A and B are shown apart, each in its own frame.
Chain A
Amino acid sequence: MKSVTGSHTGTATWLLQRATAVALALALPGLAVYFISALPTDFSGWQALFAPLWLRVPMLLTVAALALHAWVGMRDIFMDYVRPTGLRLALYLAVIVTLSGSVAWLAAILFGTAWSTA
């Protein structure tokens, strides 16, 4: 029987980690500059920062890339240090839930109607 925890995932995963790394190295400093250069002190100004669609779409894509990148990294750490297969798979699941949950939550914040119609 084939192992449930590993087969032909190496190169594609490696490439995914590098590709998202390059994207994040460009996008995150860019986003940081956008926010720091126009940091408001009041609530309406803070909301207005997130109003443009050209900010919300790249921001969500960036965090989605971050989630993929973090998935590969956390997977690498657990593969190195956590030997019991059951525990390792449980930790993988926890990471996947945390990351996909964070991305879904951010999508709800950025594209939900809760605050943008207020």
Chain B
Amino acid sequence: MKPIERPVYLNLLRIHLPLPGWVSILYRLSGALLFAVLPLGVWALSVSLADEAGFRRVADGVAHPLGRLFLLFLIWAFAHHLFAGLRHLALDVDWGVDLPRARQSSLAVLLAAGLVTLLAAWGLFA
């Protein structure tokens, strides 16, 4: 057998991340995203409550297809972060730590966030 060349440089595109790994990295990304949009949300609230024109501006922004798409993306991020967070709380108390159940709960997190996003898409676009 040929020895593996060292050092091994990791190609992120060729790594096959297991399901719990996907949940974990998306947990981080969604958390960072939600942090980044907090000031944006406070700004939008400020504009929308300031006067009639500001309210129209924010309402039009949310009504725009791109605005709705962004909102849907945020809803997915929040749902994923919420469900992955609940999974973490369960792991904290040693629930579902074994590999088969960790994989099952990861799948459940991805599906639950997907389901919430689908329902939100239905509400926003239908």
In terms of DSSP, what is the predominant structure of the interface of chain B? helix
By a CB distance below 8 angstroms, the chain B residues around A73 are: 31-32, 35
User: Please, which residue of chain B has its CB at the minimum distance from the CB of A73?
Assistant: B31
- Taking a contact as CB atoms under 8 Å apart, the answer to whether A109 and B42 are in contact is yes
| Contacting residues, chain A, for B55 (C-beta < 8 A) | 42-43, 46
A-B contact count (CB 8 A): 63
Which of B43, B49, B59, B92 makes the CB contact (< 8 A) with A115? B49
Interface residues of B, CB < 8 Å — how many? 26
The interface of chain A, by Cβ under 8 A from chain B, is 18, 21-22, 25, 28-29, 41-43, 46-47, 50, 63, 66-67, 70, 73-74, 77, 95, 98-99, 101-102, 105-106, 109, 114-115
CB pairs A–B below 8 angstroms (7 shown): A28-B82, A29-B82, A43-B55, A43-B56, A99-B35, A99-B38, A115-B50
